[in-house]
Structure 1
């Protein structure tokens, strides 16, 4: 699963929320999204410039007087083995119900059984019976709306297989919703715009099983250590397209204008990976080694299917080669769904993506969403083929899928690019200080969703990277292959991975796995190199200064240093070192009378922790110029940027010049970031920044250059460049140029906004909606009416912009706006619309000066309706 919760996002640069690297993303004004579950998200920096604060209702947090006691979460005890699931399903859109018949093939796991217990959430049970050939034997049962306990007519012996028939109505929309970090809802199955009232959204049905939510629409053993095969029969309208796991075996056309699609998967997988999706999709088909690779998109986006997903066969080939295990499933399909509750989900052979993944050719320039596609694909080895047997062992799924992004980038684009992207994972973890006390393998937690976090994903991916460094590439990939082949179609815990890596490397890895996977926190190293003149040698002083509760780490790494020879030449040398004490001194090999000009540890960038090195400015400059690893180079750049300007401006100037002249676009982005921070240098580099804004081939470089010109540039020159930016091929660059223009010439910016209203893309319309909210003085009700509810996951941002705009408008504009808001609210099929409107209406009333309007009967009636809906 690819997850990132965007419930409330503050201080974000409006034009860009996407799965790509952001070196400089400060924003012009506050932007709030009320979303649940974006994908592939990267942390975006706080703004360095003043922004207007947009405040929602106050939230008062009262600490609980009770201490939360976390209970031990063992692996689910295996009592019964679910061998096969056969489902016959049809759908009641009016009530949002599933009419289901399930036939479950069950055997005892270890002991004979007189009862069978299943997970079934919120069902109306119509019949429970045992099938014996042509005979049907009705069975008695107990049911508490969560667990179905079926009493058998006779004991089920180990050699026996029970065919259990359950006829039911599932009511997933009536299940209490969840509050998880990765999954914002717990219904399991979702009816989107079921009555077709929302003009901006298609009617769809889709499922989301992880963690244990599929039991909201079919009876099962809803645990990750269960595996089953399946046949699913979906009866839908003729015009609808269906998708499920495995292969579409046949379609039966019924006399009543419906059809029944039969999907079959005969390779076992966990019940949470079972999926269905139903809607108006256009299917585009590719192949990989004669296996189907298909893409399900809304009709408007079908022409761009190969733009969005076209690299998928190459990705499958890449991972088949990296793991040494060919893609193990019958097909690989991807579907994009509306209002998805997470970022994406690795349902076996049928990945479901959130709606931002579908986009046009031009939008593809700004974010191709490769990382999310790669992440879910790699799950088909780590998570689907081999599944963590308990959520405590989630890193076996999610750390690997996240590291899969690195492996793909390294294989496809090279190590430099992969390291640059990967660094953001470590940064994300290190920013999450509240997570330092969590170990990747967690047996104690409140809810399963609690372990879907930065520790299981980002930190875990770095631990795998360190493990690769520990055993070496050959043993690492040999161990991966061993782990996958030994446990194919089965379940594992962390010790299975350790044993596979020990087998491949011949090393005892107990210490490594204990400190990194079972332990918490990370090392914080203080490093200094000193010359011992008395003994004519250099000594590396190392201190571990992390929280003492983390313990001491044993780290096998390297030290790189630059030595100056007598003939004036210098050379970078690298030696292995081991760090394991709280304080220790490592003696370097004798170098005679040579001088060491600089040094840095972990030159390849493998340590999941913090490294602080003490050295002078010239030494940092040597490191910035000679370090080949991304992490080591970035440490030097950060240190140089923090030097006092008055004393070290020449070094900073030299560094920025060096970075700008680099052929690597991320060096150029780093240079722009430094110019933003050290704004004294803007005038010196303005010609180069203008050239990059207009001619650089990389969207991020043009975009960030335009941003700098808007904030640091002056006069007609800056304005002329920004106007050219409005013609860029990238919507991101256009949006940034438009925002920047609002600083240079507000009147001209608003005029340009009017001309851009016709371009139907979320990036521009979100930006225009907020520019109007901040600057427009005239009546913009017609504009907001035209964009409300559109642009998918940005619709709440645009709605928020409208409410913000209305705060400063007179009574007449407010009265005109009210029916627009009422109509949008009535037609909207958003699950959380009452919560969203309640918050916005309350803030509008608090901020607006038009008190008479808020006393009107019509406003009070609307507010009361929203409040009633929210309460219900």
Structure 2
């Protein structure tokens, strides 16, 4: 195991550097080589008078090398009045003036650092968030505040390194009107009424997380403690008007957590709160407190898949995070497939197959209009990564790996991958290496063709049975490169019996011959739904 971890660091860093192609990514590479945020402490004051927040950020930074400048992401106040204004900055409690705030960046010019030196910077600021912290009214016309940072929108209200590669612990100190309850990452460590109309709440997250899932929420809530599972407290936070419906819906989370713990590993954080919110997404997997769209609360239990997806993210995306945005399938593909795995465990194979067949059709339809690989470094608007390649196709990659390795080795690989990269970051190459190490197989071609190649196999098949010989001819008709894959063929005989034969496909046109003394009446490709492909035609000659 120690060999794997040492090798992991070396490979991850090299791959990280090699995958920075666009200008935006190259700038982040320079920062990645320079600083490491260890801890954020955000003191945020919320008000009902207006939408302005006042903030104090205390940021603990380790410098990886000697530098005289570094950069944080932070949106400056704009002509529309939205954005943040910085009014004091200090280094190790000494005020400094050698900084500039422009182009959504806070640039510090400092005395030269030493390698591994740690300094603490305190930034006081105020402003109206243009994004990131959503200040609005909920469906009941009540004022609410909800962090909604994904992918890199936290810089609209927090001075941060807004990239998943730089994970840190965080503490929230939230001052709000006393009629609000607040939720934040980690465990509540203080709740104090400082006056008749103001309350301070502190939340502390002791595990490093990326800023994309580093949030708070403030609203009128009804809160139910569901109890503990393996020592992890689980709670529901819903609008008081939706109390009964929300408490009922969110009970679905507990058996899902149980499944994930028993199949992946211990829950990564100290608590899980399921929160009704104003997120722009159907659900947002914020670490230790998932924010769900307010209208997802129905009282019918109809959003089990949504809850399963966001719970799975606590392991994949929040704890084991992608090192580079373009490997987001390591978050979204995992959450998609683990939702399916949970459904398979609870409802059986048939419902599982129905789900992955539907996802395969989604991939096929999307590819026709938007041909691209899963790992696509040309994307600079990270919202564009929320597509069927990251979700459904990413999930299908795991499904085909499960077939390639078999259930036992697949699960061992998943648990080893998570254990190796929990509270850290990984690339696709790291997953490949873990799976190769566990299985003893060379998976380089598999990862190359399915992650970095555009499209999927498009098959035309013909067959004939003569003289006790079944002949199956497969044509790969996709415009992209030829794929190599195992193809299961279900053979139905005249006497009503059936058999499955597996052939390896590696050519554009490939003929497979199968000896059979029993007369063949029909064949079916991929009867057990293990292959991501598009069937153009299947005909008897």
CA contact (8 A) 2:308 2:342 kept: yes
CA contact (8 A) 1:72 1:443 kept: no
* C-alpha distance in 1 between matches for 2:55 and 2:247: 36
* C-alpha distance in 2 between matches for 1:383 and 1:417: 26
Q: Residue 192 of structure 1: which of 133, 136, 142 is its match?
A: 136
Partner-residue secondary structure (3-state), 1:155:
coil
* C-alpha distance in 2 between matches for 1:428 and 1:591: 37
Q: Which residue of 2 aligns with 1:112?
A: 66
Q: How does 1:132-147 map to 2 (within 5 A)?
A: 132=93, 136-147=94-105
* C-alpha distance in 2 between matches for 1:423 and 1:537: 31
CA contact (8 A) 1:230 1:266 kept: yes
Q: Which residue of 1 aligns with 2:92?
A: 131
* C-alpha distance in 2 between matches for 1:199 and 1:292: 28
* C-alpha distance in 2 between matches for 1:302 and 1:356: 13
Question: Does 2:496 correspond to 1:570?
Answer: yes
- 1:249, CA displacement in angstroms? 0.7
Q: Residue 343 of structure 1: which of 279, 282, 285 is its match?
A: 282
Q: Which residue of 1 aligns with 2:516?
A: 591
1:436-480: per-residue Cα shift (whole Å, max 9, x none)?
521001111231111211111112211221121111111111111
Question: Does 2:421 correspond to 1:496?
Answer: no
CA contact (8 A) 1:284 1:305 kept: no
Question: Does 2:220 correspond to 1:280?
Answer: yes
Question: Does 2:524 correspond to 1:600?
Answer: yes
Q: Residue 477 of structure 1: which of 407, 411, 414 is its match?
A: 411
Partner-residue secondary structure (3-state), 1:463:
helix
1:253-286: per-residue Cα shift (whole Å, max 9, x none)?
1125201000000100111110111000111111
Q: How does 1:514-663 map to 2 (within 5 A)?
A: 514-533=448-467, 536-547=468-479, 550-564=480-494, 569-588=495-514, 590-592=515-517, 594-615=518-539
- Return 5+ residue gaps in structure 2 as ranges: 1-20, 77-83
- 1:386, CA displacement in angstroms? 0.7
* C-alpha distance in 2 between matches for 1:526 and 1:436: 22
* C-alpha distance in 2 between matches for 1:71 and 1:221: 18
CA contact (8 A) 1:436 1:522 kept: no
* C-alpha distance in 1 between matches for 2:460 and 2:489: 14
Question: Does 2:164 correspond to 1:224?
Answer: yes
Partner-residue secondary structure (3-state), 2:146:
strand
* C-alpha distance in 1 between matches for 2:91 and 2:60: 10
- 1:434, CA displacement in angstroms? 4.7
Q: Which residue of 1 aligns with 2:127?
A: 170
Q: Residue 51 of structure 2: which of 77, 96, 103 is its match?
A: 96
Q: How does 1:77-92 map to 2 (within 5 A)?
A: 77=29, 78=32, 79-92=34-47
Question: Does 2:429 correspond to 1:468?
Answer: no
* C-alpha distance in 2 between matches for 1:149 and 1:395: 32
Partner-residue secondary structure (3-state), 2:493:
strand
CA contact (8 A) 1:170 1:218 kept: no
Q: Which residue of 2 aligns with 1:271?
A: 211
Deviates more, 1:250-259 or 1:429-438: 429-438
* C-alpha distance in 2 between matches for 1:413 and 1:602: 22
Q: Which residue of 2 aligns with 1:757?
A: none
Q: Residue 209 of structure 1: which of 149, 159, 163 is its match?
A: 149
* C-alpha distance in 2 between matches for 1:468 and 1:526: 25
Partner-residue secondary structure (3-state), 1:233:
strand
* C-alpha distance in 2 between matches for 1:130 and 1:74: 28
Higher strand share goes to which structure?
A: 2
CA contact (8 A) 2:71 2:108 kept: yes
Q: Which residue of 2 aligns with 1:410?
A: 344
- 1:390, CA displacement in angstroms? 1.2
Partner-residue secondary structure (3-state), 2:236:
strand
Cα separation, partners in 2 of 1:393 and 1:358, compared to 1, 3 Å: same
1:459-509: per-residue Cα shift (whole Å, max 9, x none)?
221122112111111111111111111111111111001011111211000
Q: Which residue of 1 aligns with 2:107?
A: 149
CA contact (8 A) 2:46 2:177 kept: no
Partner-residue secondary structure (3-state), 1:118:
strand
CA contact (8 A) 1:170 1:216 kept: no
TM-score between the two structures when normalised by the length of structure 2: 0.91
* C-alpha distance in 1 between matches for 2:105 and 2:246: 42
Q: Residue 121 of structure 1: which of 75, 84, 90 is its match?
A: 75
Q: Which residue of 1 aligns with 2:266?
A: 326
Kindly tell me the number of residue pairs found equivalent between the two proteins.
509
1:139-189: per-residue Cα shift (whole Å, max 9, x none)?
42111151001122x32212321110100013213xxxxxxxxxxxxx111
- 1:613, CA displacement in angstroms? 4.5
* C-alpha distance in 1 between matches for 2:269 and 2:349: 29
* C-alpha distance in 1 between matches for 2:380 and 2:205: 33
- 1:603, CA displacement in angstroms? 1.5
Partner-residue secondary structure (3-state), 1:460:
helix
1:340-365: per-residue Cα shift (whole Å, max 9, x none)?
312111110011111122123xxx1x
Q: Residue 253 of structure 2: which of 289, 312, 323 is its match?
A: 312
CA contact (8 A) 1:251 1:259 kept: yes
CA contact (8 A) 1:92 1:99 kept: no
Coordinate RMSD, CA, aligned: 1.8
Q: Which residue of 2 aligns with 1:376?
A: 310
* C-alpha distance in 1 between matches for 2:188 and 2:97: 33
* C-alpha distance in 2 between matches for 1:552 and 1:599: 23
CA contact (8 A) 2:367 2:455 kept: no
Q: Residue 387 of structure 1: which of 302, 307, 321 is its match?
A: 321
Cα separation, partners in 2 of 1:114 and 1:381, compared to 1, 3 Å: same
* C-alpha distance in 1 between matches for 2:140 and 2:113: 53
Bigger Cα Rg:
1
CA contact (8 A) 2:336 2:392 kept: yes
* C-alpha distance in 2 between matches for 1:199 and 1:551: 50
Q: Which residue of 1 aligns with 2:5?
A: none
- 1:73, CA displacement in angstroms? 6.0
* C-alpha distance in 2 between matches for 1:403 and 1:199: 32
Question: Does 2:284 correspond to 1:359?
Answer: no
* C-alpha distance in 2 between matches for 1:272 and 1:200: 27
Q: Which residue of 2 aligns with 1:447?
A: 381
* C-alpha distance in 2 between matches for 1:506 and 1:283: 49
Cα separation, partners in 2 of 1:74 and 1:143, compared to 1, 3 Å: closer
Question: Does 2:252 correspond to 1:296?
Answer: no
1:660-681: per-residue Cα shift (whole Å, max 9, x none)?
xxxxxxxxxxxxxxxxxxxxxx
Partner-residue secondary structure (3-state), 1:521:
coil
TM-score between the two structures when normalised by the length of structure 1: 0.57
Cα separation, partners in 2 of 1:120 and 1:72, compared to 1, 3 Å: closer
CA contact (8 A) 2:176 2:200 kept: yes
* C-alpha distance in 1 between matches for 2:470 and 2:267: 52
Cα separation, partners in 2 of 1:81 and 1:71, compared to 1, 3 Å: closer
* C-alpha distance in 2 between matches for 1:522 and 1:447: 25
